[in-house]
Amino acid sequence: MFNSFKESALYQELSLRLVFIGCFVSLGALGFGFDNSWWGGALGLSQFGEKYGSWDPSINNYSILSEKTSAGTGTGSAGIIIGCLIAPWLCQNLGRKPTLLVMAGLLSVGIVLEASAVTSYWQLVVGRVVVYAGIGLASNVVPMYQSECAPARIRGALLAAYSFWNIFGSFLGTLVVYLCRNIKGDWAFLTVILCQLMVPVGIILTYPFLPETPRYLVYRGHYHEAEAAIKDLYGPNYNAAAEVTLLRLQVEEQRELHKATSILDCFRGTNRRRTIIAAGVQILQQAQGISFVNNFIVTFMTQLGFADPLKYNVIVFACGLIANMISFYTFDKLGRRVNLFYGALFMGAMMIGVGGTTANGYESLSPMVQNACVAMLTLWFVFYGLSWGPGVWILGGEIGTGQLRERTLLLSSLGSFVTSVPINFVNPYVQAAIGGRTAIIYGSFSVAAVVFVYFCLPETKDRSLEELDEMFQQKVSTRAFKDYVCTGLGAQIRQLEEDKGEPSKDKQVEHMEAAV
């Protein structure tokens, strides 16, 4: 088994430099997961209800009104939309790397507002909006940065790092809330919230050691800087000059034959197909229930009658984290289509199982059935970590053409977060009205996701970003992507990467002819 792994692209292509970049550039996702999970966990704490809610005689405890819960959860998604809207301008005009610093600044301001909301629930909400604006920025710049730095054969692994840090943040936030559940007064919430500062601090400390992406530098005409960035990423002996020459020729070709500059171009010609794929997978990820699991699983398990739902929540996220680590290997080994198709199939089965089991109410459930419900939710999160968790960020980062990558990612992220806003606002009311049957709604969207993947999602693994340009512009059918033979500049760029910048003499001749 180990010998097989040694022969894999992940083992051969991944360097310590790329690991460093994959980890620290993706820290913005950790903030996303942490804020989501500490909020969802805090909603189930009596101390949180006592601090920001009122006494509810029906449950003999403090609680927060559904209106406030809905506002606190939903406005976070509104903040993400703000971050998404400003991301294309920042990424295009400042660069990918400086945008990471803007993201860290927004996260820092939002965290300070949250931590200082001693008595004001609405200041806490404002802080979440600012934090989530930084997260919206991260959801655009991080996949873009990773996709433009990664070798084609391990692009899936580097882009999956975004999802890994997201789930790790969810696990960490859940764990911190669980450990702080018995702390009295404001110290519990200060401890939880201030733990988020590790994200912007980590980005700021590592910022000087991060390169700008080579493709962005080529797009802006900074060819010598692009060569330096490639050598920084792939090693000093890499033939950076040859790759920059090919990238330059490809950019010039695209501008001459397929010029696209505005967001309207995302809906024209072959770019429309790419936009539908990028936005479609994000919309379906949310529609399958991740916001429900992140924000409301603690209250759901409380309704099931579990005495310590926070403990089970930690277990759920730990299992999802392990699954996401496995996806570093499987997305580049098995491909995008296989992972997302079977992921949606099994996720749908788990959600429909939970919904069907609890359809007649929570009170009549035996302890065995309650355990089965939690087991299905845990398995749902495992399948999510193996498939749709990392998959949407991988596709979002690689599916757009170079001229429109910022705008394609904007539309992709907006698809996700515009879907999450109504879910976060409406879910508390739906869950209060129909209980566990809420899960059936999310399961039905998994059925739609299976259909979408089968008919609309092409296989993009092992392809350079420039090869994908060729295949989409040639209108290759969805199921023909896997075996299509590219003959343009994109294929030469991929071959150069596979040769680790040291092509054979015959290939050097080909690269020279391409340069001419």
Residue among 245, 234, 250 at smallest CA distance from 512: 245
Element of type H or E holding 61? strand 61-63
Q: What is the pLDDT of residues 284-313, one digit of tens each?
A: 999 998 877 776 677 777 777 777 777 777
- Output the pLDDT for position 512: 42
**Which pLDDT value is given to residue 44?**
63
Distance CA(4)–CA(442), nearest Å, equals 38
Tell how many helices (H) and how many strands (E) occur in the chain. 25, 2
Structural domains in the chain (count) = 1
Q: What is the pLDDT of residue 392?
A: 93
Give the tens place of pLDDT for each residue, 367-400: 788 788 888 988 999 999 999 999 999 999 999 9
User: Helical H runs in 183-333?
Assistant: 187-194, 198-206, 214-219, 223-234, 240-257, 269-287, 290-304, 309-333
Q: Cα separation of 165 and 138, whole Å?
A: 12
Question: Which phi and psi angles does 219 have, rounded to 5°?
Answer: -60, -35
- Between 232 and 68, the more confident residue is 232
pLDDT tens-digit readout, 340-377: 999 999 999 999 998 888 777 666 677 788 788 888 98
CB atoms within 10 A of CB 378: 18
In the predicted structure, residue 514 carries a pLDDT above the cut 60 = no
Distance, CA of 320 to CA of 324 (rounded, Å): 6
Domain that holds residue 377: 13-207+263-461
The confidence score (pLDDT) of residue 497 equals 83
Average pLDDT, rounded, for the chain: 84
Q: Give the number of other CB atoms < 10 A from CB of residue 253.
A: 15
Residue 132 is assigned to a structural domain of this protein: yes
In angstroms, rounded to a whole number, what is the distance separating the alpha carbons of residues 209 and 247?
24
pLDDT the model gives residue 280 = 96
504 lies in a domain?
Answer: no
Say whether 39 sits in a helix, a strand or coil.
Answer: helix
Q: Is residue 312 part of a domain?
A: yes
Q: Which of 330, 298, 332 is nearest to 313 (CA)?
A: 298
For residues 275 and 472, is the Cβ–Cβ distance under 8 A? no
- Residue 55 one-letter amino acid: W
Asked whether residue 294 is domain-assigned, the answer is yes
Is 170's pLDDT higher than 90?
A: no
Q: Given this model, what pLDDT does residue 430 score? A: 79
> Of 34-38, 96-100, 476-480, 495-499, which gets the smallest average pLDDT?
34-38
Find residue 63's DSSP bridge partners.
54
CA dihedral 254→257→263→266, nearest 10 degrees, is -90
Residue 184 has pLDDT above 70, yes or no: no
Mean local confidence (pLDDT), 175-192: 69
The answer as to whether 494 is a domain residue is: no
Tokens of 381: 């999160």
Assigned token pair, 119: 């008595």
Mean pLDDT of 485-513: 70
Q: Rounded to whole angstroms, what are the CA distances from 390 to 42, 238, 282, 283? A: 26, 29, 11, 14
Confidence of residue 513 (pLDDT cuts 50, 70, 90): very low
Instruction: Say which range, 163-167, 455-459, 507-511, has the weakest mean pLDDT.
Output: 507-511
Pick the range with the lowest mean pLDDT from 57-66, 71-80, 212-221, 443-452: 57-66
State the average pLDDT over residues 402-423: 87
**Dihedrals φ, ψ of 63, to 5°?**
-150, 160
* Per-residue model confidence (pLDDT) at position 511: 46
As given in the structure block, the two tokens for residue 135 are 């997260």
Contact 59, 68 (CB under 8 A): no
Give dist(CA 433, CA 436) in Å, integer: 9
216 class by beta-carbon count within 10 Å (0-12 exposed, 13-18 middle, 19+ buried): buried
Residue 286's contacts (CB-CB under 8 Å, 6 or more residues apart) are 416, 417, 419, 420, 423
Q: What is the pLDDT of residues 230-283, one digit of tens each?
A: 999 998 989 999 999 999 999 999 988 888 888 999 999 999 999 999 999 999
For the domain that residue 405 is a member of, what is the CATH number? 1.20.1250.20
Residue-level pLDDT at 54: 67
Q: 495 lies in a domain?
A: no
pTM score of the predicted model: 0.83
331 or 434, higher pLDDT: 331
- pLDDT value, residue 395: 93
Distances (CA, A) of 299 to 33, 90, 433, 491: 18, 38, 14, 51
The better pLDDT of the pair 477, 67 is held by 477
Instruction: Report yes or no on 469 lying in a domain.
Output: no
* CB burial string 455-482: b at 16+ within 10 A, e below: eebbbbbbbbbbbbbbbbbeebebeebe
